[in-house]
Amino acid sequence: MIMTTNRDVTIYDIAKVLKISASTVSRGLKNHPHVSKEMKKKILIAARKMGYQQNKFASNLRQKRTNTIGVVVPRLDSYFMSTVISGMEKIFNNFGYNLIISQSQESIKKESNSIATLFNTRVDGLLVSLSYETRNLEHLNLLFNKGIPVVFFDRICDHPKCKSVIIDNYKAGYEITSHMIEQGCKHIIHIGGSQIRNVYADRYRGFRRAMVDNCLEINDKSLMVTNLNHEAGIESANAILNQKERPDGIFVANDTTAVSMICELKKAGIRIPEDICVAGFNDDPISRVVDPNLTTIHYPGREMGEVAATTLISILKGEQSELLNSIVLRHSLIIRQSSLRIK
């Protein structure tokens, strides 16, 4: 085994060996058209033999770009987000970009920090899904001012300089609520997330609209805002169990919470869907496993990641229209046992 703990091989070393200039080596290595074929071959061979590795800092310093993309997400540890990231990684990797990932943990403070750090790292572009707490985009100004492109996905915020990749949460909320109404539900409530965020506000709006369109009552108890985790499902279930007038339908804004809610309700002897219909959102694998299987909205995580990545790349290449504002992916209503009363 060769120990090369010493100094890195540079283009100057190669140039010296080949008795040519460093610039020719640089050009040869990048397959520049102004270098003769034989010379290129010589350079490539020498580089390989000498164990040359390009120094990206020097290169980045010169070129003022990094081939690095920053990603800021609320949390990494959900099924949805991991499929999104997986999709992004695949695309960026194909295009020679590196991905730097950070989590806001649903906090605006951490989100600001992450974005500032990524900015300092001189990322070429940014993909962002906003935290629960984020109310405005001031913390993105440093990117906007520098003209660094930002693409939002899923949890977005309208901004003239940004493009977004989303699904139609309003429509999805409308569809799933309508479905529950068709199944005979008259008193449906919605377990939602932070109403600052488009995804949760839109799902709720869709729910409300469906209720109103069907002349069903909604009041201040129709919406429970939670943080949509496992515990929230248990707590909401217990809150509902303690109500005098229990709902006959519950539309939950994600599957995790819907599932833990179903488990808790079942423990208390509630029959799903006979006593209460339940629907979730996301089509996590868990929705196909819970008994009864959970009615939900299929939510294309991997595609969303791929589309967001592709969009950012085309912006970086200058191929993207200024007019494009948002890309809406198709969702679908997945009807399963948890809401099916009419067989």
Q: Does 89 bind a copy of itself (CB under 8 A)?
A: yes
67 is an interface residue for DNA by CB under 7 A: no
Work out whether strand 163-167 and strand 326-329 pair parallel, antiparallel, or are unpaired: parallel
Instruction: Report the residue from 57, 219, 220, 319 that binds a copy of itself according to the rule CB under 8 A.
Output: 57
* Segment interacting with DNA, rule: CB under 7 A, options 24-32, 189-197, 267-275, 305-313: 24-32
95 lies in the binding site for a copy of itself (CB under 8 A): no
55 binds a copy of itself (CB under 8 A): yes
Contact partner, 219, from DNA, a copy of itself, none, Cβ < 5-8 Å per class? none
Q: What's the first-to-final CA gap in the chain, in angstroms?
A: 70
34 binds, among a copy of itself, DNA, none (CB under 5 to 8 A by kind): DNA
Nearer to DNA, 61 or 212 (CB): 61
The candidate with the shortest Cα–Cα distance to 292, out of 266, 324, 331, 311, is 266
Under the binding rule (CB under 7 A), the answer on residue 316 touching DNA is no
3-state secondary structure of 288: helix
Contact between 336 and 295 under an 8 Å Cβ cutoff? The reply is yes
145 binds, among a copy of itself, DNA, none (CB under 5 to 8 A by kind): a copy of itself
Residues 6+ apart with CB under 8 A from 328: 166, 167, 168
Residue whose C-alpha is closest to residue 306's, from 96, 101, 158, 90:
90
If you count them, how many residues does the chain have? 343
Looking up tokens 């970086």, which residue turns up? 316
Q: Which residues bind a copy of itself (CB under 8 A)?
A: 1-5, 53-58, 60-61, 66, 68, 75-79, 81-83, 85-86, 89-90, 93, 98-103, 114, 117, 119-122, 141, 144-147, 230, 256, 259, 263, 285-286, 288-291, 302
